[in-house]
Amino acid sequence: MDASLSDDEMETQITVEADQYIPYAMDEVAIDFEVQGLNEKNPERVEVLLAACRRDNVEMREEALRLGGIKTKIVDIEAFAMERACELIEGQLELPDEDPVLAVVDIGATKTTLNVISRGKTVYTREQLFGGRQLTDEIQRRYGLTPEEAEKAKCRGGLPDDYEPEVLDPFRETVVQQVSRSLQFFYSSSQFNDVDAIALVGGSASIVGMAEMIQDKLGIPTRLANPFAGMSLAGRVDADELASEAPSLMIACGLAMRSFD
């Protein structure tokens, strides 16, 4: 964008021009922007980051907070929240002092997301429709459990002896394949040839043996992320319970680290 534009002028121009980049009607979209700095090749221009999403995605979250008696002040982007939270786990990882490249693998219920962070900034993001629900569904189908019982058994154990070799091992192998595939897409579309470490986050990251299998199969140091490891805890907080849930709370930590300015 033209560096001489005021914020109001830039907002007006972006609103007009954004239509060519966003495949939805503009009245269905929430957009925001932030100036990143002067263009290296042309100091009369500035680089501008444009963020956009379907408006109903924002309204759905606002309504959930409203029902909880909370007023929405900031709507953030998951990748940026994750980027901030990674400041809390750098000391837990085997990263070089100069130009570390960190792969963050977020294994959620229905999707697995790869975020690659270089020099503190997200340089790549990729989502795949695969997550912990596949494991829950297989437990439910094989052992005749309800969804609630299957989820509880997945987290707390107590399943028959054939669970690990027949159900858990194939799921872990599939996770490794998904992570490997995502990394190959990253390497093929960037100037990077490797990553220095993998941080596992998300609700299914804590599955027993997951980090070890990824490290063994891919040869990349892999650790479960715990953003609370360096924090002091109030006496009423169950430290063990928090540690077990920590990988699934990375985005929550990233949101908490954001200012309201």
Q: Kindly provide the residue ranges of all beta strands, DSSP E only, lying in 3-68, ordered along the sequence.
A: 29-38, 46-54
> Do 40 and 137 reside in the same domain of the chain?
no
CA pair distance 21, 226, nearest whole angstrom = 37
pLDDT at 215: 96
- Tens digit of each residue's pLDDT (9 = 90 or more) over 161-188: 999 999 999 999 999 999 999 999 999 9
Domain hosting residue 36, numbered range: 1-75
Task: Read off φ and ψ for residue 186, nearest 5 degrees.
Answer: -60, -50
- Tens digit of each residue's pLDDT (9 = 90 or more) over 76-112: 999 999 999 999 998 888 888 888 999 999 999 999 9
CA pair distance 84, 30, nearest whole angstrom = 23
> Is the Cβ–Cβ distance between 81 and 254 less than 8 Å?
yes
Indicate whether 20 pLDDT > 90: no
SS (H, E, C) 166-182: HHHHHHHHHHHHHHHHH
Does any domain span residue 101?
yes
69 pLDDT tier (thresholds 50, 70, 90):
very high
CA pair distance 58, 180, nearest whole angstrom = 32
Q: Which residue has the tokens 């990553």?
A: 195
> Do 114 and 67 reside in the same domain of the chain?
no
> Do 24 and 138 reside in the same domain of the chain?
no
Indicate whether 261 pLDDT > 70: no
Does any domain span residue 261?
no
Measured between alpha carbons, how far apart are the two ends of the chain, in Å? 23
pLDDT at 86: 93
> Do 22 and 103 reside in the same domain of the chain?
no
Q: Which string of DSSP letters, residue by residue, matches 120-158?
A: TEEEEEEEES--HHHHHHHHHHHHT--HHHHHHHHHH--
